[in-house]
Amino acid sequence: MALQSDSIDDIDVPVGISGTTQWWIFDTGSNLTSISLSSAKQLGLTLSKGHASTQSGGTGREVSLSTTVIPELHFGSAVLHNVAALVMDDKLLDIDLGKNGHYQIRGILGYPVLAPLGSFTVSESEMMVSPEARPSTRSAKLYVEELTPLVEAKVDNKELLFQFDTGQSNAELSAKYVRAFPQQFASLKGTKAGIGGAGGVRPLAAYSLPKLVLHLGPATATFANVRAISQDRGVYPQDELFGNLGQGLLKQFRTYTIDFHGMQLILGEHAQ
């Protein structure tokens, strides 16, 4: 299956609904599949009569939504039936790129759809989906808590749990991490960071950590100028974890496999 990169450094995958193919974000960090209101109407989906709200994981703000059930969704060779999805107003999924304009998210393929399919191996611009992956010595453990995938990594020989979110472009550290490793921030000057998500942007106290080294099994990932949020967001599970890892981690390797059957993240050789 072909992949493509989008303007917000995520990977998009082709999703077929009602005879139409759209490119949606492949997002393990999304607790539910989501779709923009205009896309839902274009695809002829029936919306719920009532409205509800949910808390944005990025900003902690409440955002209004409707729901729908997608009768049949095609993803690669898989066909999924009766997929529940959140429907959000287009403006809530509109990403301001500054001088580069805007990026409109059409849909987000979330964890509940991905997990039953097994494993996903990404190499360059291709993805292979299979029921399970072979065990590998180059793997880190995956866990799930309340529809949130977690990945285990070590810092200074301490085992830490991070949210594993393929919809996250750069690595981000939480206030819990800042409290656990105060020596890393003692000489740094605090600043404000705009945390974006559905519902807009929220300013929070933060640091910029010049260098972060994580050990995931035998693999090592190195990050530069990592944003570390130094105040709790009031959002679960972000405040309970040590941070969020996504594309900033995965793009450091030539290939990787996300295996929800064997609960492992397999990392290939480092990219040049």
Q: Is the pLDDT of residue 262 over 80?
A: yes
pLDDT at 246 over 60: yes
Q: What is the mean pLDDT of residues 44-62?
A: 72
**CATH of region 133-267:** 2.40.70.10
Residue intervals of the chain classified under CATH 2.40.70.10 are: 4-128, 133-267
116-121, long-range: CB within 8 Å, 24+ apart, which pairs? 116/80, 117/75, 117/78, 117/260, 118/259, 118/260, 118/261, 119/257, 119/258, 119/259, 119/260, 119/261, 119/262, 120/26, 120/257, 120/258, 120/259, 121/255, 121/256, 121/257
CATH class as words, domain 4-128: mainly beta
Whether pLDDT at 198 is above 90: no
The reply to whether the predicted model has a pTM over 0.85 is yes
pLDDT bucket at 100, cuts 50 / 70 / 90: confident
| pLDDT, tens digit (0-9, with 9 covering 90-100), for 82-98 | 999 999 999 989 888 78
Closest to 238 measured CA to CA, from 191, 183, 158, 177: 177
Burial of 246 (0-12, 13-18, 19+ CB in 10 A): buried
Instruction: Write phi, then psi, for 249 (nearest 5 degrees).
Output: -80, -55
